[in-house]
Structure 1
Amino acid sequence: MPSEASLRLLDGALVETLLHPDAVLAAVRDAFILHSQGEGRVFPVVREPLERGIFGIKAGTVPAQGLLGFKAAGFWPGNRGAGGEPHQATILLIDPATGRPLCLIDGNAVTTMRTGAAGALGLLQLARPDSTRLCLFGTGVQARVQLRFALDRMPALRRVRYVTARGEPSPAFEAAFAARCAMSHARDPDAAVADSDVVITATPGGGALFDAGAVRPGTHLTCVGTDTKGKRELPAGLLERTCLFVDDREQSRRIGEGQWAPDHPAVELGDLLTGRAQAGRSGSDITVFDMTGLALQDLTVARMLFDRAVLSDLGTRVPWPW
């Protein structure tokens, strides 16, 4: 009855226990497919600068599956000084039949994992299967999850060179992956890119990270950090030489790397997964997967978490009468 309605709360600690990589990968794959088939709608993204950070909202719906909701998220760099996480995200699932809230979820780990899973799907579709050398820009939370998914899904990867913002090595970062691959710090970004089969950029998107001429034929690049107007990680003139793939074409041109080459053709990754498009890459093609993040990814992963929580009666139920 309406008077017995409740809102289920899933905090960060519980979310972490429920986010199994294979389940997240499957949910994110579903999101790409729903987007390609037109069964899922994504609404215009809100992404606005604030005095002390950046705030955004990504929302969407899958009417046939009764899925509706949004993620409110952003970046508050000042949190680091207080020992907190600068990225903050909260997801709300809503009953589309009534507009009533169903589940409130700590979205930080969801954002991290679904982005890592999306990067892995891009690698599997676009990177050369015989790729053995990877160059990674960044050592933060997103850099770590991208590398973890890459090593899990592409076992041929053997050597990883990483580039840090300050140009100094990170022993802790190296130790986290030393058992899985040969890790080394790269002081020369151009040389590291030129010597790699796969390049992953997971930075705040403050500017070009390397020279366009450093990218060799056959390289695949996964771009994570450009998600706001004015941001970029790739150098000018590179996109025009590549086969560009995106999660959402319009989003890429508004807030992703696509904003710097808006007339360059782009293929949505979901269309590769559904067979509506073919990668058709040759061994010498340079491929780029520009990830700006789909609301549907957050929602399909959130639904998976909600279903698991309901099945095992997990989380906190708060009375939410009509």
Structure 2
Amino acid sequence: MTPSPLSTLSTLPTAPADAQLLLLDKHQVDALLSPDDVLQAVREAFVLHSDREGRVFPVVREPLRTGGVFGIKSGDVQAQGLLGFKAAGFWPANRQRGGEPHQATVLLIDPATGRPLCVIDGNTVTTVRTGAAGGLGLRQLARPDSTRLCLFGTGVQARIQLDFALRLMPSLREVLYVSADGRRNAAFEAHFAGRCAIGPASDRNAAVAQSDVVVTATPGGGALFDLDAVQPGTHLNCVGADTRGKRELPEGLLQRVRLVVDDRTQAQQIGETQWAPDTQSLELGDLLSGKVPFERAPGDITVFDMTGLALQDLTVARQLHARALETGAGTRIAWPW
């Protein structure tokens, strides 16, 4: 005899009155994260996306009257009971307040009940998972004999992109960087002392032309170099275009390249691909999972258009949640039904 819906509901456990919500602040997240674990989590996110076991829901990305940009990236992995979202954006005025303009908060939710499980400061999560994604893209797409990298930006994201690039591509030995004001950044150089030869580029087009790898990690205010500067064999990781109207690449470049994206729809809506949405592309997850073979010819120009997957935030957040439960880290507050 099939039970009625009412009888089935009556067998469910009672909502606990002593339920708790776990909070992980910036310092706790920093203590719990490790680059190798994040690499593993981000790679898993790409493969889950490729296998369609992980879903990414439509992105919210809207400008605010305050001058900021607010976004929501959400998704789930139903087989793993993983559900949640990241509310994040960019508030440039925070620099005048002495704070970080990128702000993010991750919320993990119990998919069986809809109750929140864990609130996580998402700034470091976003930074490190984006760096790991960039590193995976470089390792998959750049020429393995690449020795020189040109980096646009010296901020938080530029630093983590270079950190993972040097970590995953030990052949890289020389870095030319372009700062926002065009000046030398001694603190930025000191961070990478002993890992590479690093210095400012005197001419951005010449630096691009002389480099095997180009990484763009800026606010995406416009093309950073001329089309003719990009030489055959170059690979480009593009980080800054994550909102409608943003771009870092010159007009006409995407028509000349082999384009790889993290998510095709997102890239066409908010990434570099918005400027050439009909460009054929592959998804990085399909390359990492082996579904799509990829071999680069010596003269190929390749581009990885990175818009950031909700699944990356969620797999890293799940990792943090589990580690906090194991170690007792974090703050627990009463969150009764």
Moved over 4 A (4+): none
Q: Secondary structure, in 3 states, of the residue corresponding to 2:132?
A: helix
Match of 2:303 in 1: 288
* Superposed counterparts of 1:148-297, under 5 Å: 148-297=163-312
SS at match of 1:102: strand
Give the match for residue 128 of structure 1: 143
Q: 1:35 aligns with which of 44, 49, 52?
A: 49
How far residue 187 of structure 1 moved from its aligned partner, in angstroms, is 2.4
1:26 matches 2:40? yes
State the distance in 1 between where 2:295 and 2:97 align: 49
Structure 1 stretch displaced more, 64-73 or 172-181: 172-181
The counterpart of 2:129, out of the listed 114, 137, 140, is: 114
1:79-113 Cα deviation digits (max 9, x unpaired): 11111111110000000000000000000000000
2:114 counterpart residue number: 99
- Alignment partners' CA distance in 2, 1:153 and 1:262: 30
Q: Over residues 138-175 of structure 1, what are the superposed CA-to-partner deviations in whole Å (9 max), with x where a residue is unaligned? A: 00000000000011111110000000121111111111
Q: 1:173-200 deviations in whole A, cap 9, x for unaligned?
A: 1111121111110121100000000000
CA shift for structure 1 position 13: 0.2
Q: Give, in angstroms, the shift of residue 313 of structure 1.
A: 1.3
Give me the whole-angstrom Cα distance separating, in 1, the residues matched to 2:289 and 2:96. Answer: 45
Q: Which residue of 2 aligns with 1:7?
A: 21
- Correspondent of 1:298 among 305, 313, 316: 313
Alpha-carbon distance in structure 2 between the residues aligned to 1:261 and 1:11: 39
Q: Amino acid of the residue matched to residue 285 of structure 2?
A: G
What CA distance in whole angstroms lies between the structure 2 residues aligned with 1:19 and 1:215? 36
Which structure: larger Rg? 2
- Residues of 2 paired with 1:164 and 1:314: CA distance? 38
String of CA shifts for 1:216-266, please: whole Å, max 9, x gaps. 100000000000000000000001000000000010000000001111101
For residues 159 and 71 of structure 1, what CA distance do their matches in structure 2 show? 35
Question: Matches of 1:239 and 1:97 in 2, distance apart?
Answer: 43
Q: What letter is aligned with 1:206? A: G
Aligned equivalents of 1:223 and 1:280: distance in 2? 20
Match of 1:46 in 2: 60
Name the amino acid aligned to 2:210. Answer: D
Distance between the aligned counterparts of 2:187 and 2:135, measured in 1? Answer: 23
Q: Give the Cα–Cα distance (whole angstroms) in 2 for the partners of residues 120 and 79 of structure 1.
A: 28
Among 47, 54, 72, the residue aligned to 2:87: 72
Paired AA for residue 5 in structure 1: A
Q: Aligned AA for 1:63?
A: Q
- Matches of residues 128-147 of structure 1 in structure 2 within 5 Å? 128-147=143-162
CA RMSD in angstroms comes to 0.7
- 1:318 offset after TM fit, Å? 0.6
Gaps of 5+ in 1: none
For 1:275-307, what per-residue CA distance to the aligned partner results, in whole angstroms no more than 9, with x for missing partners? Answer: 111222101100000000000000000000000
Q: TM-score, normalised by structure 1?
A: 0.99
TM-score (norm 2): 0.95
SS at match of 1:3: coil
Q: What residue is the counterpart of 1:314 in the other structure?
A: 329
Aligned residues between the structures: 322
The DSSP-based 3-state class of the residue aligned with 1:4 is coil
The separation in 1 between residues aligned to 2:247 and 2:293, in whole angstroms, is 27
